[in-house]
Each structure stands twice: as structure tokens, then as C-alpha cells.
Structure 1
């Protein structure tokens, strides 16, 4: 375990410095108008730390969105490969990975923001857990660690307390349970938001959809079960991070949805209503009204020229004149041949 512990410290030490530096920086800012040892100043510092981390992860979020769209667009090709090589799983896997490479698609890009946050999550957990014992890491000195570890929200809810280690306090357990539920619901909602609004119908039946469904139901369960052991400060971090993700996804899905998705149809409808309010003509693919002819108009029947004699053609320059329209003859009043005498 010694060598693994050294490797873990080598990886986590830079994170301790980075996280503690951001956390202490926000704490100094909030200490200008709040009690520096109070729980509110440290809780807001955790929120500020979350915002900084999520802002730094925006490029990864953009990459995640692009990869998700590529996965959606290539689903018809993936289905063709499944039909063609469904009997040979090894060949199917090779051809599918080749398609991913050609289109620049990474099927695991949707997990990158969560995976990269896990070391930060663990580092914050360790900082807060050891701060409760007065131990500091990185920029978080011993005096600041004692202040952080003993800080309480409302004078009754320690940030270092957990649902399992609430010392019998119903207030602490209730607040921790509330944050666990909020963390679980926001985790589920962020995944559900992506599947329900920004995925076409073709993408809901392939392997990519199975991966998304797995994340949809497994991650909330994992966080719900593990959340009862997380300190309240860590629960506050993760819930704030989920709220950021929800807002970020809502903005992207609403303003730049993937083609062929419910979000894209909703955007087209909003754009049409906005154009109508401004008096701008909107080009649509609607069929022409029933009153208008669907095909080209038929030409008028051509009139045959009237036959002329040779003398008439010499007098008129050789040009035939159009025949006058024939008028129907009135029915004869004379009896037919049937009544005639021989």
C-alpha cells in the first residue's frame, strides 16, 4: 500500500493546492462583509469554487455536445453496420470503431465532465474531512483549516458533518438528506434533459442510447447511496455543479439544438412566431392552397383554318382565315322520314 499511497499523494497534491487556493481566495472575498469563521462565508466559498471549476470545464462541455451530436447523426450508419455484421461481433466492433474514427466521434465524451470532476470531488472531500481535525493542505493553513472544519450554517449545521455522522442531530440529518435528494434529482434531470430534448428518434434505439440510459439510472443511484457519507460541504458542491449543468444544457439545447430533435422543432416554432410578430415573411414547406392549380395551365384549343377556294386565296394573299365558330342548327320542326308517305 506504500507505493500506491505515494502515487495517490503525487496525483492529489497539485489538486489540493489548486482547490485550496481558489477556496481561500473566495473566503477572503466573503470575509470582507461576513463572519470569517461563519458557515455562510465558507459555504459561499464552496459555491464560488464550483463556479470556477465549471467555467474551466466549458471547453470539455463544448466537446461533449459536439460528440453527442456526432453520435446522433451517425446512428443510421451504425444501424446499417449492425444489420450487415450482426452475426460477427468482432467485425461489428471493428467497423463501428472505424466509423467513430472517420467521423471524429468519441462515444465516451459525454462522461468526460463527470470523470474529470471526480478527482476534484475527492480532493474537496479530503480537504473538508481533514479540516474537521484541524489539518490543512496546500494553501489551506492550519488556522484556516480549523475555521473551515468548525464552521456551521445557521449555528447548527456543521459543513463537515454527514448524514451518518450527525451526532444525533435531527436538523443536521434533515439538511443532509435534503441535499442528497437535491443532488440525486439534479443528476437525473441533467441526463434526462439531454435524452428527451436533444436526441432524435433514431438515436434512442442504438448502443449510444443504451449508454445514456445506463447513466440516466445508475448515476443517481450511486450518488444517492454514497451521498449519505458525504460531508454537507461536498453535497453543496455537487448540487451546485448539477444546477450549473442544467442551466448550461438548457441554454445550448434551446439556442443550438441538434437537427431532427424535439428541441430543434421547438426552436423552429419559436423563430416562426418571432418572425410573424416582426412582420417578416417566413418561408415554409407547406403545400399550396387547394384553390390554386397544382399543374401548368392547359393551352386553349387551336382553331382549324377555314378551307378557301383558289380565287379566294389569291385575293387574300394566300393566307387562310380562321374558321368562324359553328353555331348549332335548331332542331327541325318537320316530321322525320318515319311519317312520310311513299
Structure 2
């Protein structure tokens, strides 16, 4: 929120030429280099009609959640800073800049000497999104070999090194060709929501599942808590068909009613056989429930694709089609 307020004040003071420009606002040139709101293409900039192109998908709910979250943050800023010029439209733009251009702050954890330190060798700590003017101009290329380096560079006139961040490509770049960054392995759902673009046939498209149960009986809740499970947790189904063990265990608890089988004596063959049958049936029920969830989501995607939207921009329609096709492909691979 603080970065959003800081950038927003640049716009406010641009509208007040009679007021002295605050010395603390030093990124006027950088802000002017960023695309205007009219060029931003994340779903929060879609029209109501265009949002219908996301019907039946997880992304539509994610867009609504993000709008509520950012809108609340915008209200807090206006209230605390008592500045009506920090409008929702301006906060939306700065928040979108952050979601699409920010780097992790741990990139700025510079070494104490002048040696370059690859980001991959750092000890992970608490990291927050930060903007790095100039470093953030590069488009994304999946699989592009890029090394992010932080260093202290010595200067002829200074006794101390100057902090430096470099993006180093390990591939040959021809003169006149575009230089790319690599944002990491991201599914189209994340790319469209945060950046405003999609990749054709994106192999990183994933399937997320959440049981989404609003309220559960006491015994089931207690059983889940005893196992460290949360029914609100979201799980990712991998392309190789592997299912998160925590999701499977959660489904066992839900289908089993939260109860535990009584201990069975090792020499009681009849009781052991009955227990094995119950466990086998429970596993079949779990697989059936999982398959049903996937079929349900696939059907919602199919039904959503049949909604006719006339007044949509062609690029928005194309991105939504690519996103929906990739999501459908990902579900079918896991069924």
C-alpha cells in the first residue's frame, strides 16, 4: 500500500502546479515511463461483459477477491492520508504495476563485499515485492536462462561500492533482438491475473482444488485439526497425476465422518478382514469424490464457454480463450 500511495502522490502533485513539488517524490520520470491505465490488460480492467468470458473458471472468483482486497486497501489509504486524490482508479493502476513488475526484496540483500552473489545461493528470508526502475522493462520468456545478480560495484570517486542489480542472460543475444527476463514457471491463470497476458499451450498450467466446505460437524473439525488439516486449503494437482497426500487424508476424514476405527487384535482375522474392506471402500470413495470434483470443474468450464459475449475486445477474447483451453487441457490430463 505504501508504494501505491507514494506513486499516487506523484499524480496528485502533477495536478497542482502552483504547489511546490515535494523533494521526497523522486520517481516522476519512472512513473511517466509506465504504461497508462488504458493499456493495462489484467482482468480488473475488463468490462463487465468481458468478465463473462471467464465464467465457470477459478479466475473469475480470484478477480472478484482481488478487487475487494485492493478496493479495501484504497479506502484505507484515502482515510488515513486524508487525500481524495488517491482515487480507486489510481490505486488500481499502481497495484497492477506492483503485481506485474515487482521483484522480491531479497534481491536487494547485497553482500558485504564487491563480489556478485547469485540469487539462487541466498538464504531465503522474508521477502516483499519492490519496484526496480529500468530492471522491470523486460518481457517474459518461459525457459529463458536468466541469472539475477546483486553486487556492490566500485566507482573511481567513491570509497564504498554502489549497489547494483543485474539480469544476466546465458544465451547469445543477436544485435537488434528483444531481450527477455524469465518470471519463472507460471500458469496462465497467474499470468493473466497479475500481468495481463497468456502463453499459448502453456505447459505450466495447473489444476487447483479446494473442498470449499463452509461448515463442518464438530467431530470432523476436531479430526482435521488433530491432523493439522484445514478444509479451506487449496491444493495443486500435478501433471503426472500425483495427488497431494494432505488432500487425500482430508477427503478420508470427510468421507469417514471424522471417526476412527477401533483397534483390532492381530489374531482376529474376521475383524482384520472387515477393517481392510472398509479401508478399501474408503479409498474407492475418495477416488470417486476426486474424480467427481474434476468432472464438475470441467463441466463448469464447458458451460462457461457457451456464454455468448458480443462486445468484447479481440485481444481480451483471445487471452480468455487461450486461458480456458489450457485449463480444460490440464483437467483432462488429470482425469
Task: Output the TM-score relative to the length of structure 1.
Answer: 0.22
Q: Give 1 or 2: higher strand fraction.
A: 2
Q: Which has the higher contact order (CA 8 A, sep 6+)?
A: 2
Structure of greater Rg: 1
Q: Give 1 or 2: higher helix fraction.
A: 1
Task: Output the TM-score relative to the length of structure 2.
Answer: 0.22
